[in-house]
Each structure stands twice: as structure tokens, then as C-alpha cells.
Structure 1
Amino acid sequence: MGDDPIREWILSEGKATQITGIRSVGGGCINRANRYDTDAGSFFVKTNRSIGVSMFEGEALGLDAMYETRSVRVPKPFKVGSLPTGGSYIIMEYIEFGASRGDQSVLGRKLAEMHKAGKCEKGFGFDVDNTIGSTPQINTWTSNWIEFYGVHRLGYQLKLARQQYGDSLIYEKVILVIKFDQAFINILVKGQRLVKNMAPLFEDVVIEPRLLHGDLWSGNISSDKNGEPVILDPACYYGHNEAEFGMSWCAGFGGPFYSSYFEVMPKQPGFEKRRDLYVLYHYLNHYNLFGSGYRSSAMSIIDDYLRMLKV
């Protein structure tokens, strides 16, 4: 590739003969985003001048995995590469958004169809690590969901909090809620008590690895011109389907969404008791990304579980 690999790809593999316009579109706070208009249609391009290709590679693999389920609409990724001046880019399908976020009941059904179709035999995790916001998200394949969630979700966020804030109080309280890997056993004096006390939360629950968007909040949900839901900017991995609702506190999901979802993926016993366990991951991530404003919300969830589990 030469000085402009984006332009070169569009004019070769993108099947365009000319680029008729480039304009900036909303791309969030991490990346720059542009719409490239051509005689072969439009392309959506995100660039980041300060990071390598791994973040966009993770996004592309997630989009591909969701696209292959033929359920909820996602933009199809075409190309990930490095910029000659440093940084990276991703080229994907451009979707013209509609005026609203669309029908919540349709989104609920389509999301459930994605979870149902996206079953994985390898276990819990993903082929690559990716990011949740700008935080690394570790996706090492693990056969047991509670271990995966404890080590690579809550555990990883707690380590970040301890490094960033030296917040031993929040760390010590959360370690009572879930069992971590063997490296933490010396710290987790009460680990064995925890295993016994966790059982009521997952009693009679079948946990299968299902493809998750991973970061489903209102900013990553839209609709196309026909009103069909579109989901964007994933942090994909294979996990317990209920973990998809961890960002529900800023997604605006209502009754029609959940009713439609559970028609396809039936609600399992104890769903309400487990819901905040998945919210906690995202509160901890916001705590690490944005500061102490999220600390009290995380602590409130932790305290509630400690009372519930009587540990």
C-alpha cells in the first residue's frame, strides 16, 4: 500500500473508480470516523492515529461473527490495516440510519436470534482479546463460565482499580462474591466459602457460550432506513447470554424488549438475582475509565450481594 491505503483499497477491492466525497461523521471519543462516497456506494471508515491494528482487528472479528448469524443487522467489515504515518484504520459497510432507534420489540427478538444462532463449542471467550471502551478485555478461552467471569471480567477490572486507585476496600469486598483463579487463592482467604454461597445465584441454570455484542448501550444501537435495528461498535465474546444486559442501565431497554427477547431465549430461574452481577462489570469499567463517580454504584451492588449470599 502507498501513502493512502484507505483510498487505494476503495479504488481496487472496493470496486469504485472514483471517490466523490469524504465527510466526517460521529465516531465517538476514541476514533475519527468518515464517510467515503464513491460511484460504487458509500463506505464507513474509522481511524485512530495512536494505536495499532489490534483494536480494529478485534472489532472486525466481532462484526463478522455477528454478521454470520444472519440475525440483527450489523455493518459488514471489509478491511483493517495500518496507516503509513502511524495508527490504524477499519473500512466497513456504510449504513444509512433512520430517524429513530426503531422498535424495541424487534431489537429484543433479533438480539435473541443472534444469541441462539451464535453458539460456540470452544467454551467462553473469543479468538482475540479486544476492548470495552478503551479498556483491554481479556478473552482467554475458559470452559467454566463462573471462572471466566470471575477472572477475566470482574477480576481484571478489580486489578485495574487496585493499580489505579489503590482501592483495597472495593477489591476486598468483591472477592467475596466470585471465585478467582489459583493465583489469587492466597489473597482470597474466603474463596472456598464463596463457592458454596454462589450456588443459589446459578441454581437450575444452563449456561452455554453464546455470541454477545458485549457493549450494548444506547450509543451502540440504531436503526436503518427501514426501521430495522442495527447494533454497532461491539466488544464481542462468547458468554452467558444474560451478560448482554449488563449495560441495561444506559440502554433504555423496556418491557417490549425483554418480552420479545424471552420469547426466543426463555428466561432462566434467578435471572433477576443475577442481573446486577453483570451490571457490576460495566460499573467497574466506568469507574476505571471515568473516575470515582461510579464507585458508589459499584459498591452498592457489591454490598447487596454480600448480604444476599450472607458472607
Structure 2
Amino acid sequence: MIEKIDPELLINRISPQHGGDINDAFFVETNKEPLFIKTNSGVPKDFFEKEAMGLEELRSSGAVNVPNVLLYNQETENEQYLVLSYVSGNKEPATEAKLGQQLARMHQVTKSFYGLPYSNYLGTFQQESGEYEKWVDFYREKRLLPQIEIAVKKGYLKAAQKERHLQLLTRLEEWIPADPGASVLHGDLWGGNWIAGNKGEPYLIDPAVIYGDREMDLAMTALFGGFGSSFYKAYEAESNSKLNQEIWPLYQLLYLYMHLNSFGVSYLGATERIVQRFLG
């Protein structure tokens, strides 16, 4: 595999890495640069290609750091893999503030449409996309509705619950703006999807990129914790705007549906509470 990067690369040591629950991951020490390799035999053939494309979308913003994409499998190959530059360091007191500042700058990069021209993955769920004029339409039709349908199919949402959840979707315009600005979003920004480099600088990893409301990224940072006040203060200072935390639960709903459909009924109550909060 690595000879495709550089015929002179030689492997000195391979060490399994822990932390993710989807892929197998390895640190590879070579005679030149260290590498980070992810493999998975149970995902679609474009799984890592779409991750690589997402990393390049973030890199092209010019605002944030991401690992370098060195190699990934072609769809004609049987083995799914992604080779990245190895990033490792300690998060320093200023690292979170830098992340908030850089994320605000990244969100200033926008497109003329909402969504994405190609499908990608959130966890292992394939996300169909498209280019939409209205953000609320994209979010309802391409993100929330497919996850509700999966939850119904798996038996997590019964008939009465399904109707309530669908009713919320019909009223999203009451809270979610149609045209908030199509910022480039990481798309899955929980605490495990950013790391520090060897100088304490923040790096974003494992994106599920779309173009949409910046509040969606911020909502995810708050869902499972892991981001301190310095992050949010730096974000507000750099963006020169206040965060709209009132609508965050509507964006957190997507990730809770995904966890419901991935890990089971223990996440159902959280989705129900959000529906109750907005419908009464």
C-alpha cells in the first residue's frame, strides 16, 4: 500500500491505535514521515474517498488545519483504506481558543447553495445531498427525514411518535432560518473529532462536510460536551456575533437520531424531549 505514496518508504513499526468505534487504525513509523492509516472491510468502496474529499473541503477554506491526505483506495480495490499524515500533540490552554477562532473563520467561507453536490457519510450512514436554495428544506428533506424513516423501520419510533416527529419537521421554518448563509461545516464536530498538533495547534478530523447554518456545527459541540468557555468566547469574538443557542436542540436532533439508529433505544428519550420542547 504505502509504496504507492513513495517507493522508498520502508515500514519500521506498526502500532494499533484506539479511540474510534468504526475503523481499525494504525500508527506507522517509516524511514521518512510517520503515517496514520485507517482500514475497514465493512464499508462502501467510496467511504474513505468521501472522507478525503471532506478533509480537502475544510483545507480549501484556508482557515483550519487538517491532516494531509496521502492515499486512499480506488473503487476498483477490495480493501478500504485511508492514509493520512500523522498528527499528535498536547492540547494546551490556548488550543481551544485557537479552535474557536479558526472555526469562526472557516464558517465565513460560503457557497451559493445549501447542501453538497455529492453524497457522503455521517458515521456509517450514507447521506444523500444535493444543492438547495433554502437551508431549512435541505435540512428537513436530506438530513432529518431519512433518519426518522430509519428509526421507524427499526421499530424505535411507533406510529404516534412518528407523527409527532414528522409534525415538528413541518414547522421547522418557525425556528430554523431559510437562508442563514451557506457556511462550510465540519458536520460532525464532537469533542473526539479534533486533535492537537505537536505545537498545540488544533486540527479537525473525520468530517461529514456540508454547506449550511454555522449553528449546526456549534450545536454538535455542545451535545456531548468537551468544549470549554474559551472556545465559545473566541468564536463569538472572531465572528463578531452571538451564538443562537435556542435552536441548537433542533440541530442536535439529527445526531441523536443517528445515535438512536446506531446504538439503540437509549437515545429515544432525548429525541422525544426535543420534540416536546418545540411542539409543546
**What is the match of residue 290 of structure 1?**
263
SS in 1 for 2:15: strand
**What is the match of residue 141 of structure 2?**
151
For 2:76 and 2:27, locate their aligned partners in 1 and report how far apart those are by CA, in whole Å. 20
**What is the match of residue 267 of structure 1?**
241
For 1:265 and 1:206, locate their aligned partners in 2 and report how far apart those are by CA, in whole Å. 18
Q: Relative to structure 1, is the Cα distance of residues 7 and 282 closer, same or farther in structure 2, using a 3 angstrom cutoff?
A: same
Structure 1 residue 275 displacement after superposition? 1.2
Runs of 4 or more above 6 Å deviation = none
For 2:11 and 2:5, locate their aligned partners in 1 and report how far apart those are by CA, in whole Å. 8
Q: For the Cα contact (< 8 Å) 2:5–2:70, is it kept in 1? A: no
AA at the equivalent of 2:36: F
For 2:182 and 2:120, locate their aligned partners in 1 and report how far apart those are by CA, in whole Å. 17
**What is the match of residue 46 of structure 2?**
54
Q: For the Cα contact (< 8 Å) 1:210–1:238, is it kept in 2? A: yes
Structure 1 residue 162 displacement after superposition? 0.8
Q: Please list, as runs of the form range in 1=range in 2, the aligned pairs for 1:6-155 lying within 5 A after superposition.
A: 6-12=1-7, 16-26=8-18, 28-82=20-74, 86-98=78-90, 103-116=95-108, 118-121=109-112, 123-155=113-145
Q: For the Cα contact (< 8 Å) 2:87–2:196, is it kept in 1? A: no
Q: For the Cα contact (< 8 Å) 1:246–1:280, is it kept in 2? A: no
Aligned-pair RMSD on alpha carbons?
Answer: 2.3
What do the CA deviations read for 1:22-66 (whole angstroms, capped 9, x no partner)?
Answer: 222226111111122222211211111122331111100010111
SS in 1 for 2:116: coil
AA at the equivalent of 1:9: K
**What is the match of residue 171 of structure 1?**
162
- Which structure 2 segments of 5+ residues have no match? none
Q: Relative to structure 1, is the Cα distance of residues 69 and 91 closer, same or farther in structure 2, using a 3 angstrom cutoff?
A: same
For 1:17 and 1:154, locate their aligned partners in 2 and report how far apart those are by CA, in whole Å. 45
Of all paired residues, the percent bearing the same amino acid is 28
* TM-score normalised over the length of structure 1: 0.82
1:279 equivalenced with 2:252 (yes/no)? yes
- Which structure 1 segments of 5+ residues have no match? 1-5, 180-193
Q: Relative to structure 1, is the Cα distance of residues 102 and 223 closer, same or farther in structure 2, using a 3 angstrom cutoff?
A: farther
Structure 1 residue 166 displacement after superposition? 5.8
* TM-score normalised over the length of structure 2: 0.90
For 1:97 and 1:129, locate their aligned partners in 2 and report how far apart those are by CA, in whole Å. 32
**What is the match of residue 303 of structure 1?**
276
For 2:148 and 2:268, locate their aligned partners in 1 and report how far apart those are by CA, in whole Å. 12
Q: For the Cα contact (< 8 Å) 2:45–2:75, is it kept in 1? A: no
SS in 2 for 1:165: coil
AA at the equivalent of 2:2: R
Q: Relative to structure 1, is the Cα distance of residues 284 and 52 closer, same or farther in structure 2, using a 3 angstrom cutoff?
A: closer
1:213 equivalenced with 2:208 (yes/no)? no
